[in-house]
Structure 1
Amino acid sequence: MRALSLLSLILFSLLSGCTSYLPSTVIPAPSPAQPYVKVVTIPLPVIATSPNEGVTYGALTAFLLHNDKDEVSYLFAPQVNRNENFGTTGTLYGALYPSPVRSIEFNLSKSSKVNSDYEVRLRDQSLMERQLEVNAFLYNFTDGSARFFGFGPDSSADNETNFADREFGYTVSAGYPLRNNTVLFLGDRLRRVEVDEGAVKRLPNLQQRFSTADVPGIDGFSTHAQSVSLVYSTLDAAAMASSGVRARATVEGSLAALGSSARFVRYEAEVKGFFPVPDSRFISAGRFAFGQVSGGSIPFLEQSILGGENTLRGYGKNRFIENSYVLCNLEERIRLFRWEVFDVKADWELAPFIDIGGVMDSLGDFKAGELKVNPGIGFRAVVRPNILGRIDVGWGKDGAAVFVGLGYPF
């Protein structure tokens, strides 16, 4: 449902809105010294779509609260929408950025059929005189649109099945700098999954077509894993970078002794970079990543997965699953114009892109001929320094895929 909130930021110039100045005694001020809070209110109809969920339509009202620098610091967006698979859904999305080093996001959503989503994400880089970075993500959701096509790069669209992915858990990490631009992160992750009947009735249910012998974790599973990551970064901003490079190497272990259903080890590496022209009107962005999961009877949702709004954008979420993956994303972020509407300054961007990636049993089995290549085009509305809404359209062998999302894909 966050996607709908962000589509509002892309469409806000098309509809009427208003700007109010409320005393800080009436509404909490983003900055402590503010006597008044500037609030931009934008009512909107909303249409969103994704390959798995289909078309969703409804209405929302976005409330954008500004700090004393006239930056959007708080965003609240209550909404009601309708989807043929999930019925009527009520949602409250919020994003709070009280300072450049601290942020809170939450989403509270309940559908009349199957779906629900309760989550909160925290980031704090202010601890220990800004030496310690803490991240936390807590969630409890049910996604009735989840898909499974089988394993491997050649999984067929003819084998598409639907299921309800019921999950709750958390991810926490703490990072401490080892030297300039280099941070060591320690993480802990708990994930409990139940597999139930999905909401998309036109498709066969996962458990009707596949057995537990074919698909580990099809009857549910638990993962309690610990990780170590080394990160090198010269990015000029954590969430919406316009220049710099970030490299990450991660090792994660899941042990049955600590509550996991299966024992496995995950290895991942990622490098991404952003290279602007002098006025940042053109930013060349790229990412290269690969990973491998090793172990026995690894649950299917813990294996390497490609497809969706942040990996292969020409395919739906969970389209390709196998033990290992290779991924490359390239896009050119072009600022078309900068426009101020309802006292909100936004950059409007066009982003042609190409995604290249594939899954395999192990990285040693990599074959260039099995990589999926999907071109596409993105449309973005950027309200700096915190908020970005986007629509990405990608083309893969299954046809076109359209995603509405929050934030850059990488």
Structure 2
Amino acid sequence: MSDADLEKKKQGTFLTALPDVSSDPVTGFGVGVRSNIYWNGTRDDPRFAYTPYLAKLKVNAAYYTSNARELVLSFDMPYFKATRWRYKADLKAQQNPANLYFGSAEHTLEPLRLPSTPASGATYSRFDEYDKARKTLRSEQANEAPQVTDALSNRFMETEFMLNLKADRALGKGKWRILGGYEIQHLSYRTFEGTEAEAIDPSTGQTIKAPNGTSLLQRDFQQGRVYGVNGGWVSLLQTALIFDTRDFEPDPTKGHYFEIANEFSNPAIGSGFSFDKLFVQGRIYKKIPVGKRTVLAGRVAFGNIFGSKAPFFEFQDQWSPDGSINALGGKQSLRGYRANRFLARSLWFSNFEVRARIAETSFLKQHFSFAIAPFFDAGTVRDKWQHLSLGNIRYAAGGGLRIGWNQSTIISLDYGMSKEDNLFFFGLGQAF
């Protein structure tokens, strides 16, 4: 850490806890608590200037207006007992009925189209127009009620119970690390055929209730385009090679981060599915001579899923030891587009931010910093990694505010804009 930041680093054990008042365009408005207990040690500990903390316990619990709910426990110990080992354990239980599904192939790059509409049908350039069209009553198709709405046809419910254990070891002078982990999870899914939902009567324009039609996820499953809709047990072996020279993990001012991460799933290790996921990302943080503390941050990432029958839910995120990333769309990858708006077997994306600190203060023995963060995101997806290119890219841009609490806890507010949507995100932690 820089001398200026090291001087402000808090000693001992302390708690940062926030009422979880969050906002996400998909899961809605959330309330709960997000808390971190930190063990920082003392300044005479040789690790004090080089680790973000000696240990951290994260406890998150939240409930959202979409009826989503989650409980997350996470324990992290870097350089355990001054050795080269770092240990992490994560436990999660969550249920989310507001997950979005637009498909799991390259065609998701096309303009928005209703699940019940043929390829030659109407498309929508703005999400609000598309959302209104989804709710408009239409006539039945196979195995549907006489009049239905598609209001919930892009949604599905996921229920997850997960345990993850990881350990990594620093190599050489500590810049390189090798990681191994094991994760087991049980997943179940539900779509909303026949569920009463909001609808618009096209003859009067009034809002009424009507049964929901066949979901897009079920259509794709019935036509053999996706697998895994019935859920089940997923067992994963995780490995990663990491190069990390960041000066302070939660809010770096300089350094690089590079990783090659892999998840392997197979019935031989107790999984109901067989696939392999590869994710590669590189990040750079550079302090620039503008203002008191201005940092240019950038990331470029690539991911691919191997396995002809990989389950659809594995297309929705990229696993990283530094935190899984929803892709492609949402607050971690392509702000300005809904979460999982663009999905396929292969993808690349990039993010760039300028994080400029504008003020600092101390209050009740707590240190707070404030920074603005204009950003630019770009990315695309393909059905084969060999076809990844700089063509057919989706872009988003916007601005954010970063509030640092005792340096280790970062509160982020981002407003992203794209040609399809304008979205606001609020939560803990930075995008990268």
TM-score, normalised on structure 2? 0.72
- Tell me how far 1:340 sits from its aligned partner: 3.5
**Unaligned stretches of 5+ in structure 1?**
1-29, 57-80, 82-90
**What secondary structure does 2:226 align onto?**
coil
Shift in Å at residue 405 of structure 1? 1.6
Q: Which residue of 2 aligns with 1:246?
A: 257
Offset of residue 200 of structure 1: 10
Match of 2:272 among 256, 261, 284: 261
- Distance (whole Å) between structure 1 residues aligned to residue 16 and residue 171 of structure 2: 42
Q: Tell whether the 8 Å contact from 2:74 to 2:91 is kept in structure 1 after alignment.
A: yes
Q: Establish whether residue 344 from structure 1 lines up as the match of residue 318 from structure 2.
A: no
Equivalences for residues 175-324 of structure 1 within 5 A:
175-180=168-173, 181-197=175-191, 201-202=197-198, 205-206=215-216, 209-212=219-222, 213-277=224-288, 281-303=293-315, 305-324=327-346
Q: Is the 8 A contact 2:17 2:36 kept in 1?
A: no
Deviations 1:188-217 (A, max 9, x none): 122221112469944764555443423211
Structure 2 CA distance for aligned equivalents of residues 40 and 247 of structure 1:
29
Distance 1:207 1:329 in 2: 29
Match of 1:157 among 112, 122, 129: 112
CA apart distance, 1:339: 3.1
Aligned to 2:24: 50
Distance in structure 2 (CA, Å) of the matches to 1:167 and 1:175: 25
**Residue 300 of structure 2 is aligned to residue 359 of structure 1:** no
Matched, 1:103 2:56: yes
Task: Work out the percentage of aligned pairs sharing the same amino acid.
Answer: 22
- Please tell me whether the aligned partners of residues 165 and 196 of structure 1 are also in contact (alpha carbons under 8 angstroms): yes
| Residues in 2 aligned to 1:230 and 1:215: alpha-carbon distance in whole angstroms | 31
Equivalent position SS for 2:391: helix
Alignment match, 1:145: 98
The residue type equivalent to 1:50 in the other structure is D
Give distance in 2, aligned partners of 1:267 and 1:244: 24
Unaligned runs of 5+ in 2: 1-10, 41-52, 116-152, 199-211, 318-326
Letter of the aligned partner of 1:172 in structure 2?
L
Change (3 A) 1:200 1:366: farther
> By percentage of residues, which structure has more strand?
1
State the match for 2:8 in structure 1.
Answer: none
* Alpha-carbon spacing, 1:361–1:197, altered in 2? closer, same or farther (3 Å): closer
- What is the aligned-residue RMSD (CA, Å)? 2.7
Which AA in structure 2 matches 1:360? R
Residue matched to 2:417? 395
More moved, 172-181 vs 277-286: 277-286
For the 8 Å contact 2:346–2:388, the answer to whether it is kept is no
Q: Does 1:375 align with 2:416?
A: no
Moved more, 149-158 or 293-302: 149-158
SS of 1:231's partner is strand
Residue of structure 2 equivalent to 1:123? 76
AA aligned opposite 2:294: F
> What is the CA deviation profile of residues 326-358 of structure 1, one whole-angstrom value per residue up to 9, with x for unaligned ones?
011011001122234455332111111100111
- Do residues 133 (structure 1) and 86 (structure 2) align? yes
**8 Å Cα contact 1:142/1:165 also seen in 2:** yes
After TM superposition, the structure 1 = structure 2 runs for residues 6-25 of structure 1, keeping only pairs within 5 Å, are none
Residues of 1 paired with 2:242 and 2:16: CA distance? 38
SS in 2 for 1:157: coil
Deviation at 1:277, TM superposition (A): 2.8
Aligned in 2, Cα 1:264/1:207: closer, same or farther, shift over 3 Å?
A: closer
Tell me how far 1:123 sits from its aligned partner.
0.5
Aligned-partner Cα distance in 1 for 2:197–2:342: 22
Shift of 1:129: 2.5
Report the CA distance shift for 1:226/1:259 in structure 2 as closer, same or farther (over 3 A).
same
- Larger mean CA deviation between 399-408 and 331-340 belongs to 331-340
Q: CA deviation at 1:49?
A: 2.5
